[in-house]
Chain A
Amino acid sequence: MKKITNALNYFKLCGIFMLFLTQQSFAQQQVSGKVTDSEGIPTPGVNVVEKGTSNGVVTDFEGTFNIEVSEPDAVLQFSFMGYQTQEVSVQGRNVINVEMSTDMGALEEVVLIGYGAQSRETVTGAISTVNADDFNSGMINDPMTLISGKVAGLSTSNPSADPNATADFSLRGPATISGNSQPLIVIDGVPGGDLQTIAPSNIASIDVLKDASAAAIYGSRATAGVIIVTTKKGVPGEVRVNYSSYISTDVVSNEYDVLDADQYVALGEEYGFTVDDAGANTDWFDEVTRTPISHVHNLSVSGGNEKTTYYAGVNYQNFQGIDLISERENLNGTFKLNTTAIQDKLNFSFMLTNSHDNRDFANYGSLAQSLKMNPTYPVKNPDGTWYQRPDIQYGLQWNPVASMYTNTNNSKESRLLGNVKVDYNILSGLNASISYSLIKNSFLSGSYSSREDFFQQQEGVGGQASRSQDHTTSNIVEATLAYTTSIAEDHNLDFLAGYSYQNTFNEGFSAGNNSFNTDAFLYYNLGAGGALNNFTPNFNRSGVFVGSYGSERTLAAFFGRIIYDYKKKYLLNISARREGASVLGRDNKWDTFSGVSAGWIISKEDFLHDNETIQYLKLRGGYGITGNQESLSPYQSLATMGPYFGGSHNAYIGNPGEGSWVQPYGPIINPNPQLQWETKKELNLGIDFALFENGWLSGSMDYYNRKIENLVGNYTAQVPSQILPEIFANAGSMKNEGFELALNAQLFDNDNFKWSTDFVGSYNKNEIISVTSNQFQGSAHDITRVTEGVSIQRLAPGQPVAAFYGRVFAGFTEEGDWLFENSEGDAVVASEIGEDDFRYLGNSIPKYSLGLTNNFRVGNFDASVLIRSALGYNAVNGKRMFHENLSYYSRQNLFESVLDEPIQNSPLFSSYYIEDGGYVKLDNLTIGYTLPMENNRYIKNIRVYMTGTNLITVTDFSGNDPELGINYYPSDPESEVSNGPSVEPYYDYYPVTSSFTFGINANF
Chain B
Amino acid sequence: MKHTYRNRFHRIFLLIAFLSFWSCDMDLEEEVYSAETSENFYQNEDQVMSAYVMPYAFMQNLYDGGHFALQELSTDEVVAPTRNGYEDQNGAWVRLHRHTWTSSDVWILYEWQNLFQAIGYSNYFLDAMEENDLSGMDLPISKEQMIAEIKLVRALHYYWALSTFGNVPIVTSVGESSPAIKSREEVFAFVENEIIENIPQLGEKGDINWYGHFTKSAAYALLAKLYMNAEVFTGSPRWQDAIDAIDNVMAANYSLDPDWSTPFLVNNENSNENILVVPFDGSNATGFNFAEQNLHEEILFAKYNVEYYGWHKYSSQESFFNLFSENDERIEQWVVGPQTFINEAGEEEPIWSWYGYEMVVTPEITALQSDNTGWDQGAMSIKYEVEVGGLNNMSNDMVIFRLADMMLLKAEALMRLNGGAATQEAVSLVNQVRARNFESDDPNATYNTSSLSLDELIDERGRELAYEMHRREDLIRFGMFNDQWWEKEASEEYRQLFPIPATVLTANPALEQNPGY
A contact residues vs B (CB 8 Å cutoff) = 274, 342-343, 345-346, 392-395, 424, 426, 432, 434, 458-461, 477, 479, 499, 501, 503, 507, 537-538, 540-541, 548-554, 556, 580-584, 586, 589, 634-635, 637-644, 647-657, 659, 661-668, 715-725, 776-777, 779, 789-790, 830-831, 834-835, 887, 890, 904-907
Contact = CB atoms under 8 A, between A and B. Distances in A.
Contact of B104 (A556, A649, A835): A835
6 contacts: A342-B9, A432-B17, A538-B391, A656-B269, A718-B507, A906-B85
B37 A661 contact: no
Contact of A640 (B26, B32, B57): B32
Interface string B160-182: 00000000010101111111000
A540 B307 CA distance: 9
B150 to A, nearest CB: 12
Nearest to A481: B17
Nearest to A461: B307
Given A552-B33, A652-B212, A274 B356 contact: yes
A831 B82 CA distance: 11
Given A460-B307, A890-B355, A789 B24 contact: no
B47 A649 contact: no
A834 B33 contact: no
Nearest to B53: A651
Contacts of A715: 507
A392 B355 CA distance: 9
B211 A655 contact: yes
A885 to B, nearest CB: 9
A392 B353 CA distance: 10
B28 A581 contact: yes
Given A581-B28, A718-B508, A831-B91, A549 B9 contact: no
Nearest to A458: B307
Contacts of A904: 371
A890 B86 CA distance: 13
Contacts of A776: 507
A666 B32 contact: no
A173 to B, nearest CB: 27
Given A654-B208, A661-B285, A665-B54, A721 B173 contact: yes
Given A584-B28, A721-B120, 19 more contacts: A461-B307, A477-B24, A538-B387, A538-B389, A538-B390, A553-B30, A556-B26, A581-B28, A641-B41, A649-B57, A650-B285, A651-B285, A655-B211, A716-B504, A719-B116, A720-B169, A720-B176, A779-B506, A834-B91
A774 to B, nearest CB: 10
B35 A394 contact: no
B270 interface: yes
Nearest to B280: A652
B10 A426 contact: yes
Nearest to B267: A657
Contacts of B30: 552-553, 582-583, 634-635, 637-638
A779 B507 CA distance: 9
Given A634-B30, A654-B208, A718 B51 contact: no
Given A537-B282, A556-B26, A790-B90, A665 B506 contact: no
A596 B356 CA distance: 74
A720 B169 CA distance: 8
B9 A345 contact: yes
B279 interface: yes
Nearest to A715: B507
A563 B365 CA distance: 79
Given A394-B297, A644-B58, A649-B58, A661 B284 contact: yes
B21 A648 contact: no
A663 B47 CA distance: 10
Determine which residue in B31, B169, B502 has the highest number of CB atoms from chain A within 10 A of its CB, and name it: B31
Contacts of B113: 719, 725
A583 B297 CA distance: 47
A789 B90 contact: yes
A666 B395 contact: no
Determine which residue in A553, A634, A725 has the highest number of CB atoms from chain B within 10 A of its CB, and name it: A725
B343 to A, nearest CB: 15
B94 A831 contact: yes
Contact of B287 (A434, A551, A649): A649
Contact of A721 (B123, B267, B355): B123
A552 B31 contact: yes
Nearest to A727: B507
B35 A723 contact: no
B286 A716 contact: no
B28 A640 contact: no
Contacts of B355: 274, 890
Size bin of chain B's contact surface: 35 or more
A666 B124 contact: yes
Contacts of B171: 720-721
Nearest to A661: B284
B13 interface: yes
Determine which residue in B5, B56, B176 has the highest number of CB atoms from chain A within 10 A of its CB, and name it: B56
Given A549-B34, A831-B94, A651 B174 contact: no
Nearest to A835: B104
A665 B51 contact: yes
Determine which residue in A345, A393, A637, A835 has the highest number of CB atoms from chain B within 10 A of its CB, and name it: A393
A310 to B, nearest CB: 25
Contacts of A648: 283-286
Given A719-B117, A721-B120, A641 B49 contact: no
B460 interface: no
Contact of B179 (A589, A655, A721, A834): A721
B39 to A, nearest CB: 7
A343 B209 CA distance: 81
Interface string B43-62: 00001011101101110100
B174 A662 contact: no
A553 B390 CA distance: 45
B20 interface: yes
Contact of B371 (A392, A665, A906): A906
B502 A779 contact: yes
Sort A-B residue pairs by CB-CB distance and give the 3 closest, nearest first.
A906-B85, A723-B120, A550-B33
A644 B13 contact: no
Nearest to B305: A460
B269 A657 contact: yes
B369 A589 contact: no
Determine which residue in B24, B116, B124 has the highest number of CB atoms from chain A within 10 A of its CB, and name it: B24
B17 to A, nearest CB: 5
B211 A642 contact: no
B269 A653 contact: no
B318 to A, nearest CB: 20
A717 B372 CA distance: 42
Determine which residue in B57, B119, B372, B391 has the highest number of CB atoms from chain A within 10 A of its CB, and name it: B57
B284 A650 contact: yes
A770 B334 CA distance: 51
Contacts of B279: 651-652
Contacts of B503: 716, 777, 779
Contact of A654 (B9, B169, B211, B390): B211
A978 to B, nearest CB: 16
A716 B507 contact: yes
Contacts of B36: 640-642, 665
Contacts of A890: 354-355
Contacts of B257: none
Contacts of A653: 49, 53, 140, 209
Interface string B108-149: 000011001101110110000000000000001000000000
B176 to A, nearest CB: 4
B88 interface: yes
B6 interface: yes
Contact of B211 (A392, A550, A644, A656): A656
A554 B33 contact: no
Contacts of A342: 9
Contacts of A392: 354
Determine which residue in A584, A653, A790 has the highest number of CB atoms from chain B within 10 A of its CB, and name it: A653
